[in-house]
Amino acid sequence: MLIKKALLLVDIQNDFCTGGSLAVPCADEIVTAVNQIQCHFDCIVATQDWHPANHASFVTNHPGYNLNDTVVLESIPQILWPVHCVQNTVGAEFHPLLEKKHFSAVFHKGIDPLIDSYSAFFDNAHQRSTGLADYLHQQEIQEVYIVGLATDYCVKYSALDAAQLGFKVYVIEDACRGIEFNPGDIAKACEEMRAVGVEIIQSRDLMRRGFPLAS
């Protein structure tokens, strides 16, 4: 029986790309690869970081605190970020060159003002689901291939949750970029993902594996 695979595009949005408020170094470089691999997947899902303006991860909502300070939200350490990906703003839109017409569904994350959501599946307290897990189960997906931003935050937490949910998970390294706030963060994220069985692969491996083209 053919294994059902989904491609998950994490947060490929203007605010994480060049000129954005939380620009991930070299983020724009992934767009070509992400567009090229879409032809191998029947199921393509994307997430948007989608914060209300009063979101608790924004440094501006914590007077007296500085960028990248840590606060505690619902017992979870929270890094304070610049204002980014505010709902219905240009910064929250997908990168203009990202191919969007084959998306099967889009899921929003980080909508609760009181808690952040690095993972595409659940908020950081694992209290509220984005609906992505149910959707992938409905589509009878067994394997999830992850690309996007940022390797050491939302890609990592999405991969860890996907593995915990029982999916076979692949992270396509050259179609991701990380923040690397501290040197070594990206490598550490890859090790954490590997430790739970996530395979870190390259986009060229998709051709080698005898990947069928989508029907």
Task: Tell me whether residue 154 is one of the annotated catalytic residues.
Answer: yes
210: buried, middle or exposed (CB in 10 Å: 19+, 13-18, 0-12)?
A: exposed
Strands (E), the chain: 5-10, 43-49, 70-73, 76-79, 105-109, 143-149, 168-177, 199-201
- Indicate whether 161 belongs to the interface with ligand VGL (CB under 6 A): no
Stretch near Zn ion under the rule CB under 5 A, chosen from 65-73, 104-112, 144-152, 173-181: 104-112
DSSP class of 94? B
The span from the CA of 110 to the CA of 124, in Å, is 9
Token pair for residue 55?
């979101």
- Indicate whether 173 belongs to the interface with Zn ion (CB under 5 A): no
Determine the residue type at 163.
Answer: A
- Indicate whether 49 belongs to the interface with ligand VGL (CB under 6 A): yes
Task: Tell me whether residue 101 is one of the annotated catalytic residues.
Answer: no
Stretch near Zn ion under the rule CB under 5 A, chosen from 105-113, 137-145, 156-164, 186-194: 105-113
Q: What one-character-per-residue DSSP string does 156-196 give?
A: HHHHHHHHHTT-EEEEEEEEEE---SSTTHHHHHHHHHHHT
- Indicate whether 154 belongs to the interface with ligand VGL (CB under 6 A): yes
Q: Which CB, 45 or 115, lies closer to Zn ion?
A: 115
- Indicate whether 49 belongs to the interface with Zn ion (CB under 5 A): yes
Region 79-98 residues binding ligand VGL, contact defined as CB under 6 A: 81
Q: Which CB, 71 or 201, lies closer to Zn ion?
A: 71
Smallest Cα–Cα separation from 145: which of 213, 49, 46? Answer: 46
Q: Which CB, 108 or 168, lies closer to Zn ion?
A: 108
| Contact footprint for Zn ion (CB under 5 A) | 49, 110
| Contact footprint for ligand VGL (CB under 6 A) | 11, 16, 49, 81, 149-150, 153-154
